[in-house]
Amino acid sequence: MYMKKTILSVFSLLFTGLLFAQTPTTKIVLNNDEKITVENTLNFEATVMGMAISNNSTTLNSLVVKNTTDQHYTITNTMTKIKTDMNAMGQNESYNSETDNASSDIGKAMSERLNKPEEVMLDKNTGNATVVASKEKKKSGEDAVPMEGLMNLVGDNSADAMVSGAFELVPQGKKVGDKWSDSSSSKEGKVVRNYTLKSIDGNIATIGLDAKITANTKIDFQEMEMELKSTTVTTGEFTTDIVTGKVKKKTTNSNIEGSVQLMGQDVPISATAVTSTVYN
């Protein structure tokens, strides 16, 4: 009798597990007027031409679903808060949008980005995002932000990248331990991303990430334009809701190695970055 009850209990647990197992969605699921807040923190350190530079920043963005079609969502991305502390060549600059005015150079540059919605079109089936309208030309004050070109090597901070980063679809049929990959390229470089499905708990999947970015770009640093060749290796982990495709949390660690060409000479550069992003 005890053995019979044990077997029945095991089958009952298995059956319950099957009932509550979720099949990953094949498309991102959102509602009109749905809002997602994105809080991102970045700790960045680099050495360029023997100089130590760093940046610690926190940004808060608001994503709002404005329209839905069969294939796309129209989403606005708005930066609502920023706090940053930068140090370059022994000079420190900081800004907090909640307490500081915009009279300083960095304050002017940052304020140009605050509370300025940008519309982005998100593909429901792929998670790819495209800015609807042409981006405004950079204001002159933005050139005063140190290290912006370097920090872009860690991750794209554009509106389309902010929106696409909030969603991740798990391919159909993937089981715990399975791997998959994707890649993208442009004239500035190439990105290869490798994923591992580490676990599934209810609707939430935990996915490991390994990525490699090779880039050849031009950056502005201390009013100098420099050609930068670099390789960025990133490892991380994120959690995503397999029923909706919405990312919950993402953490990454990046190492950058490369060189900048200055006055005909290649000067080595190295950097590290730790990011943490929470989506609510």
Conformation bin of residue 214: beta by default, left when phi > 0, alpha when psi is -120 to 50: beta
Q: How far apart are CA 164 and CA 182, in angstroms?
A: 14
Cβ 65 vs Cβ 34: under 8 Å: yes
Q: Residue 167 gets which letter from DSSP?
A: B
pLDDT tens digits, 55-107 = 899 999 999 999 999 999 999 999 999 998 888 777 888 889 888 876 667 77
Beta pairing, strands 204-221 & 51-68: unpaired
Cβ 117 vs Cβ 76: under 8 Å: yes
What is the reported pLDDT for 86?
A: 86
Q: Residue 30 gets which letter from DSSP?
A: -
pLDDT tens digits, 96-153 = 988 887 666 777 777 778 899 999 999 999 999 999 865 444 443 344 455 555 556 5
Tell me which range, 124-138, 150-164, 195-209, is most confidently predicted by mean pLDDT: 195-209
CATH number of 22-279: 2.30.230
Between residues 146 and 18, the one the model is more confident about: 146
Q: Which two tokens stand for residue 247?
A: 């990312």
Tell me: pLDDT of 4 over 50. no
By percentage, how much of the chain surpasses pLDDT 90? 52
